[in-house]
Structure 1
Amino acid sequence: MAEMTYRTALVTGASSGLGRGLALWLAKHGVRVFATGRRLSHLQALAAEAQAAGAAVEPVVMDVSAVEPSQERIRAIDAECGGLDLVVANAGIGGPTHGKRMDWERTRSIIDTNVTGAAATLCAVLPQMVERRRGHVVGVSSLAGMRGLAGHAAYSASKAFVATFLESLRVDLKGTGVQVTCVYPGFVKSELTAKNTFPMPFLMETEDAVERMGRAIFAGAAEVSFPWQLAAPMRVLKVMPNPLFDATARRLK
């Protein structure tokens, strides 16, 4: 497949963390970026930083868990800009959901954003991309989605959904001109991880993680996972027999 030239991109969850970093990285590489999020002031600060670097980021206030309005907005942007080349479903939330202290409201919130919101983002202009025989959809999963981690049932499951959803899309879209990439980050410095109260091995700087994401997207990689020091053992856990995994997960929690 020939390497794509990216003119336009939409990145969700761009108010902070990986989404903000990727939006800025893409803009600095000459892409017109529509940066979406719920906090206008954060998006405006991002746009100002991009402008100072001679790049173009356009703030779009959007809550991906509000599916219909979000899809309508993405489709309107697609029509206005002459077709989005890249759509990145990055918006996500976390938090503990322990089986012994299950909080349904938190669980539902994680599903609404990480599952329903991500799928709606990825699907919003996919038919148009297929018709144009051009485009790239990217979803941000997590190394935590490779197995059901103790105390984080909703988060692990939500990220497993993203990975499996993208895998099926990748198979379906082969030969259409539409590329699919799944990103599996480990621990990256962000507002989300700053709230964690447990050890975060091999915690990465946001800039390093963004660089790896951006290069993988431009290369049309099917998957990218980082850091390797955490990705390698997580892939071992993925194929580990359940009794052994259960014992290991209980020790790790």
Structure 2
Amino acid sequence: MPAFSQSSRVFITGAGSGIGQALALAYAGPGVQLGLLGRDAGRLQATAEQIRARGAQAWRRSADVRDAAAVRVAAEDFMAWAGVPQVLIANAGISIGTLTQHPEDLTVFREIMETNWLGTVHTFGAFLPAMLAAGEGRLAGIASVAGFRGLPGAGAYSAPKAATQIYLESLRLELAGTGLTVSTICPGYVDTPMTRINPYPMPWLMQPEDAAGRIRRAIDHGRPLLVLPRPMAWVGRVLRLLPVAWYDRLFRHAPRKPRRLSDGPPQREAD
């Protein structure tokens, strides 16, 4: 399938900040109609203003991707405004440190799974019938290198990112021959509000604009898998091949993302 040289209808979840906002700006240009979905109306407004400054039209809706009904309504409203999207990016995600032995973390486990994995399913499910009828389009889900192996204190984040990778692979096979492509995007560290609270070094930290440019090229060419940056792709391959004993020895004491503390502000950021 040839690359989309000019994607004129694009829908992105988690578009208020981070990678989602950077992707919206990467696609913005004259004649482009961009749909922006996110929970924070103020952040979405800021993204919309930047998009319009680049000559694109912006449609926005404040909604939570955990709410399948709300996502379906947003999809219907966007398509009534712009038509069937040519590019659909499920980017919404949150990251919060968790520990299983703390009962209060159970709600966090559920929130992350429902946002990072089910939110992707809700997003694609809302648009797929129309995109299949159109017979062309690009779907992309933002997974993570954190889904390659389990990380201490990050079970609630690594697990749904791993589930997202498997789900996207299944969907890619299901949609083969329909004119739709599915891209699995696995970023390493990107300088976003989500990563700025990390209390540990982040090798090969990318700027959102650089990451978004690479992600857009992969999506527009229908690339099935992108791990970025390139050094992180090699690290990911090595990690997957490491024997369990070696992996455990190397990572059992790895630094951890802060938990959401009941006696302090939420340790949470979203793309």
Q: Is the 8 A contact 1:8 1:31 kept in 2?
A: yes
Amino acid at match of 2:231: Q
Deviates more, 1:92-101 or 1:172-181: 92-101
* Residue matched to 1:92: 93
Q: Give the structure-1-normalised TM-score.
A: 0.94
- Paired residues, number: 253
Question: How far off is 1:99 after superposition?
Answer: 3.8
Q: Report 1:19-58 matches (<5 A).
A: 19-28=20-29, 30-58=31-59
Distance in 2, Cα, partners of 1:178 & 1:92: 23
Higher relative contact order (CA 8 A, sep 6+): 2
Amino acid at match of 1:250: R
Instruction: State which of 216, 235, 238 in structure 2 corresponds to 1:236.
Output: 238
Q: Report 1:156-235 matches (<5 A).
A: 156-235=158-237
Distance in 2, Cα, partners of 1:203 & 1:2: 31
Is 2:177 the partner of 1:155?
A: no
- CA spacing shift, 1:182–1:158, aligned 2, 3 Å: same
Distance in 1, Cα, partners of 2:48 & 2:212: 17
Question: How far off is 1:10 after superposition?
Answer: 0.6
In the TM superposition, structure 1's runs of 4+ consecutive aligned residues that sit over 6 Å from their partners are none
Amino acid at match of 2:214: R
Distance in 1, Cα, partners of 2:201 & 2:133: 46
Distance in 2, Cα, partners of 1:54 & 1:78: 20
Distance in 2, Cα, partners of 1:224 & 1:31: 24
Question: How far off is 1:83 after superposition?
Answer: 1.1
Question: How far off is 1:36 after superposition?
Answer: 1.0
- CA spacing shift, 1:29–1:156, aligned 2, 3 Å: farther
Is 2:137 the partner of 1:115?
A: no
- CA spacing shift, 1:16–1:101, aligned 2, 3 Å: same
Question: How far off is 1:55 after superposition?
Answer: 2.1
Distance in 1, Cα, partners of 2:194 & 2:254: 20
Distance in 2, Cα, partners of 1:127 & 1:248: 45
Q: How much is the aligned-residue C-alpha RMSD, in angstroms?
A: 1.6
Q: Is the 8 A contact 1:122 1:138 kept in 2?
A: no
Structure (1/2) with the larger helix percentage = 1
Q: Give the structure-2-normalised TM-score.
A: 0.88
Gaps of 5+ in 1: none
